Amino acid sequence: MAPEESRPQNPTLTSVKSAPEPHSGSGRPETGRASGEPRGTGTAGGAPRAWAVRLVVVGIVLSALNLRPAITSLGALLEEVRDGLGMSGSVAGLLTSVPPLCFAAFGVMAPRLARRFGAPAVVCAGMAAITAGLLLRPYVGGTAGFLVGSALALMGIAVSNVLMPVVVKRWFPDRVGSMTGLYSMALAIGTSVAAAATVPLTDALGGGWQPGLAVWAALAAVAVLPWLPLVRAGRAGERAEASRAAEPRPGAAPAPALRITRSRTAWALAVFFGLQATAAYITMGWMAQIFRDAGVSAGTAGVLLAVTMAMGIPLAFVIPRVATRLPHQGPIVVVLGVCGLAGYAGLYLAPAGGAWAWAVLLGISNCAFPLALTMVGMRARTGPGVAQLSAFAQSTGYLISIPGPLLVGVLYQTSGGWGVPIALMAALMLPQMVVGYLAGRDRTVEDEAAAAAGAR
């Protein structure tokens, strides 16, 4: 695979120019396009216009900024929300598992919706759902209304989560690493900013938790705008791509149906996604409390958590670019896993004494998320393949991640300390490294489908 530096650096030119044999992230020629056919699917007849490519870039960045504030803003005001709505402790605790549950339940719908309406239209609708959910949930009244509003916002996040790799693969097939890094970095910024700014914004808006949560709807509303002009062009382009992909090449056997659940690579990637999500939700939900119980002040514990989350901002851009240059992403998985193990060992042995080092190490380890997204784009050749793999890996992965934060809380209460929960976190890092190494092998789910068909 040619390194990204040897390719055109202008995203517009990259998407508009044609090449004799475009390649996927895995280094193999992409299927579904004839040689010399324009890259990109912004218009029905060929290459997208420059304005459309720029709008896609803006839309990707703005959408990524909105994929976590619904969660982290609530975490910052959870105590106030619980008191204001009269939530029981058990219901408030279940709120930590609602996001992955919604991501799993609604994410599976994304490929079907994208086939019918086009990925830009579904992402646009997702941003609108986030806007409506964030605006309604503080004001509809009662715990049930709050949960419904949250579910609406999380539904929009779920379908957008799944379709971001699809949009990147379709519009930037030879810049998967760079564009995945860009939106992963924007996602990390949105996560950190919402966590840090929600309380100050709440104070500035009068101290009520309702406007402090609702204010993030404004950012989501802005993210709707760049997708509106792309909806019609994107749908037409995807129809054309699907039509080209359905046409058999001269002398070539028809492509086998992609049965994603029979792919070992898909399962490895799904489990890797689930275990890294488990680690991330445990970190977001419990790390500050671990530091506080070790004698660190509440303010410093919050800053330490912010440091952990902020590590994803630069690394989320760097790691995908490095990953696309390697034929096997397993070594990156191992490095991130070793950082996680070192961070957990530090939390166990000297949580307060080396707090800053452990926060940095765990922040590096949590960058398995942008790596997983990059591998989604690299383990499938075609847009439909990426859509299926993304939906399967993320939905299955988020289902796997649901019990983690709850189990940590139960172990903490029953054991009376953090030793057993930290041991669990470290133990989960080992299978994460194994399945991540397997998912990083240089192969695609389409190849595995062809091999399975040949074996039959």
Pair of tokens at residue 239: 């129809």
pLDDT band at 34 (very low <50, low <70, confident <90, very high): very low
Which pLDDT does position 42 carry in this prediction?
42
pLDDT tens-digit readout, 204-223: 998 889 999 999 999 999 99
For the chain, give the mean pLDDT: 81
Which pLDDT does position 35 carry in this prediction?
31
Of 94-108, 182-196, 251-265, 330-344, which gets the smallest average pLDDT? 251-265
Of 10-19, 69-78, 296-305, which gets the smallest average pLDDT? 10-19
Residues 267-289: what's their mean pLDDT? Answer: 89
Pair of tokens at residue 394: 């993320």
pLDDT band at 239 (very low <50, low <70, confident <90, very high): low
Q: Estimate to the nearest angstrom the gap between the alpha carbon of 51 and the chain centroid.
A: 26
The separation between the first and the last C-alpha atoms of the chain, rounded to the nearest angstrom, is 31
- What distance in Å separates the CA atoms of residue 340 and residue 349, rounded to the nearest whole number? 14
For residue 319, pLDDT over 50 is answered with yes
Residues 228-252: what's their mean pLDDT? Answer: 58
pLDDT tens-digit readout, 168-207: 888 888 888 888 888 888 988 888 888 778 888 888 998 8
pLDDT tens-digit readout, 388-423: 898 899 889 989 988 888 788 888 888 888 999 999
Q: What is the DSSP letter of 297?
A: -
- What distance in Å separates the CA atoms of residue 445 and residue 456, rounded to the nearest whole number? 17
